[in-house]
Amino acid sequence: MKRVLLVKGDLLLRVIVEKSAELAELRAASIVADLVRRNPQATLGLATGRTPTNVYRELVRMHCDSDLDFSQITTFNLDEYVGLGPKHPQSFRYFMQEHLFDHINIDAAKTFVPDGRALDFESHCRQYEQRIVDAGGIDLQFLGIGVDGHIAFNEPGSSLGSRTRLKTLSSETIGQNAKYFNGEPMPRLALTMGVGTILESQICLLLATGSHKASAIRSMIEGPVTAQITASALQLHREVIVIVDEKAGGWLERRDYYSEVEECTQLLESGQLRALGIGN
């Protein structure tokens, strides 16, 4: 049966609504794993936080059970808290080691996270950007979204053309993340890839689960492109896949349409053309 592939480079904002958080996480993991299999030398952009935790667990399982090979993969993390070193349990470097890197066969020298202890922020951020360029750019950028619509730590009001830089965290973000610091004061600054940096990735894969993300997801997909919701800049990207569970997708007004697009995409990809009225 003839198989029709969507042309890479087509304008594409694909919204996939899964029934549960678990299914959404498995779907995201399978997209990352497919890329790693197709391109064993791929460069991945990675996120931290609650959202990707089970995705990394699934990737670790695939590595252990089905030899998913990370030996030639390069990774760049989105962000890091200023002031925290790699041994601090709340640092994003620590998170990545604990949830992914320590359990797969990745080359440690190819895993990059901004250095929270760098004192010359400007030159460190410039070097980080240069390293991404030297690696040939990011093939797939995995993203979460903040309740205020941020991607990475690009808080509301960030320039949509921004590059990796020092950023002051918003009170909403501090309110969301302070619980992880167990009463210890939380950093107020972060080093973060910019919106412009993220938009240069070949594919952006954004995952959101839980009803507390519903408003941000609707604004990002159905609202105007605005620096007040930095995730909305993804509307300008040429290949974005958004995976949500029913709760995070619960405020989407055009949800039925996204499901119809998804159904047609799957029929096209599996070559079931007659079901689409082609060649009848």
Catalytic residue (one of 150, 237, 239, 245): 150
With CB under 6 A as the contact rule, the residue among 35, 73, 78, 216 that binds ligand F6R is 78
**How large is the angle between the packed helices 53-66 and 21-38, nearest 10 degrees?**
50
* Closest of 127, 131, 75 to residue 99, by C-alpha: 75
Which residues are paired to 208 by β-bridges? 244
With CB under 6 A as the contact rule, the residue among 144, 187, 194, 249 that binds ligand F6R is 144
* Closest of 176, 158, 177, 174 to residue 166, by C-alpha: 158
Q: Does 82 bind ligand F6R (CB under 6 A)?
A: no
Look up residue 137 and give its DSSP letter: -
Q: Write down the least CB distance from residue 210 to ligand F6R, Å.
A: 8
Q: Write down the least CB distance from residue 24 to ligand F6R, Å.
A: 12
Q: Write down the least CB distance from residue 256 to ligand F6R, Å.
A: 27
Q: Write down the least CB distance from residue 264 to ligand F6R, Å.
A: 30
Q: Does 99 bind ligand F6R (CB under 6 A)?
A: no
Q: Does 242 bind ligand F6R (CB under 6 A)?
A: no
137/210 with CB nearer ligand F6R:
210
Under the phi-then-psi rule, with left for phi > 0, alpha for psi from -120 to 50, and beta for the rest, what region is 240?
beta
Q: Does 49 bind ligand F6R (CB under 6 A)?
A: yes
Residue nearest to ligand F6R (CB): 144
- 102 annotated active-site: no
* Closest of 30, 29, 78, 73 to residue 55, by C-alpha: 29
- 155 annotated active-site: yes
Asked if 79 and 156 count as a contact pair (C-beta separation under 8 A), the reply is no
* Closest of 147, 151, 157 to residue 228, by C-alpha: 157
Q: Does 232 bind ligand F6R (CB under 6 A)?
A: no
The radius of gyration of the chain from alpha carbons, rounded to an integer in Å, stands at: 19
Catalytic residue (one of 79, 80, 139, 239): 79
**Residues with active-site annotation:** 79, 148, 150, 155
**Contact set with ligand F6R (CB under 6 A):** 47-51, 78-79, 144-146, 150-152
